[in-house]
Chain A
Amino acid sequence: MATTVVMEALSPTMEEGRLVEWKKQPGDAVAVGDILAEVETDKAVMELVARAAGTLLKHAVAAGTTVPVGQALAYVGAAGEVVEGGPAAQTTPAAQGAQAAANGREKAPPTPVAAAAAPPAGGRLKASPLARKIAADRGLDLQAVTGTGPEGRIVLRDVETAGARQPTAGGRQATTTAPAPSRPQVVTPALTVAPGAAFTDVPLTQIRKTISKRLAQSIGPIPTFYLTAEADMTRAAEAREGLNALGEGKVSFNDIVIKATALALRQHPACNAWWQEDRIRYWADVHVAMAVAVEDGLITPIIRHADRKTLREIGAEAKDLALRARERKLMPEEYTGGTFSVSNLGMFDIDEFTAIINPPEAGILAVGRIADQAVAHEGQLAIRKRLRLTMSCDHRVIDGATGAQFLRTLVRMLENPLGMVW
C-alpha cells in the first residue's frame, strides 16, 4: 500500500511551506532518509526526507507551489502501484523526527525527547542567553530549534546544529561557536529594476512573512529598530566653508546629509524601499523626503533624484521647499512619493534622537547637531566636529545588518565629502 508524503511542519510555527524543488522524480527508487524535496519554511529552506522506502509513484504538487502543512505532496509505494489522487491510508507526519535525524553532533543526546522540541504548552521558550544571541545574529528562530538542555533549554550546541542544518535565507551557514563575524555579508535579494521600470516588486518569502508578522506583533504596526552612528564632520565642514566661499548659493549641513543619504541609498537599494503589506517595493530612483517643521506640525517635501543633484541644487531646492512648506504652498506631489526620509533637529541643539518612520517608507534618518568633541583622531586626542545619526528601520524591510551597512556607507560619505562631489 502506498505511503503518502505530506508537507511536514518543519518548524513549530510553520503553517505552510513552498515546495522549492523535487529531488526525486516519479519512478525513482526511494530509501528511508532519502531527500525527496527541498521545502522553504517560514524560517529556512529545509530538506524533506523519506519516511518509507519504495518507488516514488507520483508528485501531488509541482515545484514552486505553496502547500499547507499536512497536505499530500507525493506517494511512495511498490513499483507500478497505482495511487488515487486522494488521501492515502498511511501518513507520516513527524516534524520532530526530521530534526532528530538531522542532529549530528557527537555529544548530543542520541534521541532528544520529542516533548523538548516545542516549548511546553503555554510555557515560555527556554534558551541560554548565548543561544538567544546567536540565533538572533543568524536569523534563526528559536521556536524551530530543539532544546537539549535541562527542561528543553536551547543551548549553544542546539543552535549550532540547527544553524548547520537550516541555512538562513541568504544561505549563510552557522558553523562555529564563535560570535557572528564582525563584518557579515549583507543578505539582500537580487534587486535589479528592469530598465525603464520605476520599481520592482518582490513577493514576500516565507521568512519575510514570518518576520513581518512577528515583529509587528512585537512592537506595533511598524516594527522599528534603531541604529546610531557618529560621523566626523570636520572635513565636511571645511568643504562646506569652501563651497560657500564661492558665493554661488549657500550649502547647509543638512544639504550635505541629504546628498550623502541619497548616494548611500543608491549603493544600498535594500533601504530605498516601501512596505506594501504583501510585498516590498524597491525603488529604482532615490527621492529623499526632508522633514520640515511647520506651524502646527510637520511636512516632508521631497528632493527628487537627490542622488543625481549637486549640493548647490539640493541647497536651493531644499530652501525653496522649506519656505513654501511653511507658507503651505506645496503641491501634493511635492510632498508625496519619497523613498526615504531625513529629519534634522540639529538646529535645535539636539544631540541625537530617534525619528518615526513615515510609512510606507522603510527608513528615516534622524540627524542631530554637529558639536565639537574631544575624540581620538589618528591616535591623538583632538577636537573634531561630530554628528550623531540615528536610523529608524522598518524591520519587515530592513534587517540589522542591512541598515548597518547603509549607515556605514553614509558615515564614510560624510567623512570624505570629496566622494560626494565627484
Chain B
Amino acid sequence: MAVITYRDALNQAIREEMRLDPSVFLMGEEVGVYQGAYKVSRGLLDEFGPMRVVDTPITELGFAGVGVGAAMVGLRPIVEFMTWNFALLAIDQVVNTAAKMRYMSGGQISVPAVFRGPGGSALQLAAQHSQAFESWYAHIPGLKVVMPATPADAKGLLKSAIRDEDPVVFIEGEMLYNTKGEVPEGEYLTPIGVADVKRAGTDVTLICHSKTVSVALKAAEQLAADGIDAEVVDLRTIRPLDHETVLASVSKTHRAVVVEEGWSFAGVGAQVVDVIQREIFDELDSPVLRVTGADVPMPYNKHLEKASKADPPKVIAAVKRVMYLES
C-alpha cells in the first residue's frame, strides 16, 4: 500500500470522485491556478478545467451560497474554505440554508455539498486563525461533521462525504497535511458516523478526534511505560456521533478522558461526556475528564500558544486523576 501524505490522500479522494461523477466540482479561493492554498487541489485544474475547479473571489458567504444553490439543483459541490476561520462569514449559508433545506421543504430538496478546509490552530497564527469550530457545526441538525486524523481516513471519509446526500462539514488539520500513512489506492470508503479504535487498551479510554488523536496516542505510549493500558478512540465523525464505539470502550475501561483542540464550553467533549453519563452511568468508576484548549483567544507568543494546547502531559495528568493515581 502506498504511503502518502494526508494532503495527497485528500487530493486523491477529490480526483477520484470527480472522475467518477461529472456533477462533482471543486470551488474556493485559490483552488485552481494557484493549486490550492495548502496544495490539496494540486493538479486538479489541469485535469478538469476551470468549470469544475472554480477559483472564486474572496467572498466566503457568496461562494458558499453558490455551492449550496448548485447543490439544491443537483450538482455536488466541494466548497473549500481556505480555513474554517474564514468560513464564519459563510455560516449563514451552511446553517440557515444547507442544513435546513431538506427539513423546511418537507423532504423535497437535498443539499449534497461538502464544505472542507483546515480547522483549528497551526503554529503562531494568533487569535483569528487558530480556532476549532467543530462543535458549532455539530450543534446543527441537518449537518454532518467529519474530522479525519489519518491519511487513510482522510481519503475514505472525503470520498464518503462527497457521495453523501446531506451537507457535510469536513474539517481537516493544517498540521496534518504533511503527515504520512498508508492509504489504499482506488475505491476506498470510510463510513461516516463510525469511530475507530486507534489503540486498544483496558484501563482508560481516551476519546479524541483530528489532531488530538496523535496527542492521545503519544500519551498512551507514555502511560504504557507506567503500566497503564489506554484505549484510544478516534471519533472521526463528530456528528452523527458513534455512541456505540465510545460506550463499548468506556464500559470496558470504566474511565474516560476526552481530548479536543477546541474550547471547553459546550465543546464536543461535553457532548461525549453527556452520552457516557447518560447511557452507562453505572459503568463509571470516576467522573469523565476533559482536556481541551485553554479558554482564551489564541495568543501569538509560542510559549503561551503551547501552554494553551491539549498535549500529552495534560492527558496523562487527567488519566491519573480518573484512575485515582494522583499523589
Contact = CB atoms under 8 A, between A and B. Distances in A.
A128 B277 CA distance: 12
Contacts of A128: 284-286
A177 B284 CA distance: 12
Contact of A130 (B282, B324, B325): B282
Contacts of B242: none
A129 B284 contact: yes
A54 interface: no
Interface string A364-407: 00000000000000000000000000000000000000000000
Given A130-B254, A177-B254, A157 B282 contact: no
Contacts, number: 29
Interface stretch (A148-156, A163-171, A220-228): A148-156
A129 B283 CA distance: 6
Nearest to A156: B285
Contacts of B325: 107
A50 interface: no
Contacts of B324: 148-150, 155, 157
Interface in B274-302: 281-286
Contacts of A357: none
B282 A149 contact: no
Interface in A102-161: 107, 128-133, 148-150, 155-157
Contacts of A157: 324
B285 A155 contact: yes
Contacts of A130: 254, 282-285
A156 B282 contact: no
Interface residues of B, number: 9
Interface string B293-327: 00000000000000000000000000000001100
A136 B261 CA distance: 39
A133 B286 contact: no
B321 to A, nearest CB: 9
A132 B282 contact: yes
Contacts of A156: 254, 285
Size class of the contact patch on chain A = 10 to 19
Interface string A219-258: 0000000000000000000000000000000000000000
A408 B283 CA distance: 26
A52 B296 CA distance: 61
A107 B325 CA distance: 8
Interface centre among A130, A149, A156, A177 (most CB of B within 10 A): A130
A177 B285 CA distance: 11
Contacts of B285: 128-131, 155-156
A155 B321 CA distance: 12
Contacts of B283: 129-130, 133
A148 B286 CA distance: 12
Interface in B146-200: none
A133 B254 contact: no
A131 B283 CA distance: 8
Nearest to B251: A179
A154 to B, nearest CB: 10
Contacts of A132: 282
A414 to B, nearest CB: 31
Contacts of A148: 324
Contacts of B286: 128, 149, 155
B285 to A, nearest CB: 4
Nearest to B286: A128
A157 B323 CA distance: 10
B157 to A, nearest CB: 33
A128 B281 CA distance: 9
Nearest to B321: A150
Contacts of B282: 129-130, 132-133
A199 B86 CA distance: 83
Interface centre among A107, A129, A148 (most CB of B within 10 A): A129
Nearest to A127: B285
A126 B267 CA distance: 28
Nearest to B253: A177
Contacts of A107: 325
Contacts of B281: 129
Nearest to A136: B282
Interface centre among A107, A128, A177 (most CB of B within 10 A): A128
A39 B324 CA distance: 32
Contacts of B254: 130, 156, 177
Nearest to B281: A129
A177 B286 CA distance: 14
A157 B203 CA distance: 12
Nearest to A107: B325
A135 to B, nearest CB: 11
Interface in B102-143: none
Nearest to B277: A129
A177 B255 CA distance: 12
Nearest to B202: A177
Contacts of A155: 285-286, 324
A130 B285 CA distance: 5
A325 to B, nearest CB: 45
A287 B324 CA distance: 54
B249 to A, nearest CB: 14
A177 B203 CA distance: 10
B229 to A, nearest CB: 12
A156 B323 CA distance: 10
A83 B139 CA distance: 78
Contacts of B284: 128-130
A273 to B, nearest CB: 30
A17 B281 CA distance: 35
Interface centre among B254, B283, B324 (most CB of A within 10 A): B324
Interface centre among B285, B324, B325 (most CB of A within 10 A): B285
A148 B324 CA distance: 8
Nearest to A148: B324
A236 B245 CA distance: 41
Contacts of A131: 285
A107 B327 CA distance: 11
Nearest to A132: B282
Interface in B45-89: none
A378 B206 CA distance: 39
A89 to B, nearest CB: 41
Given A128-B284, A133-B283, A148-B324, 10 more contacts: A107-B325, A129-B283, A129-B284, A130-B282, A130-B283, A131-B285, A155-B286, A155-B324, A156-B254, A177-B254
Interface of A: 107, 128-133, 148-150, 155-157, 177
17 contacts: A107-B325, A128-B284, A129-B281, A129-B282, A129-B283, A129-B285, A130-B254, A130-B284, A130-B285, A131-B285, A148-B324, A149-B324, A150-B324, A155-B286, A155-B324, A157-B324, A177-B254
- Please name the 3 residue pairs, one residue from A and one from B, whose CB atoms are nearest each other, closest first: A133-B282, A156-B285, A130-B285
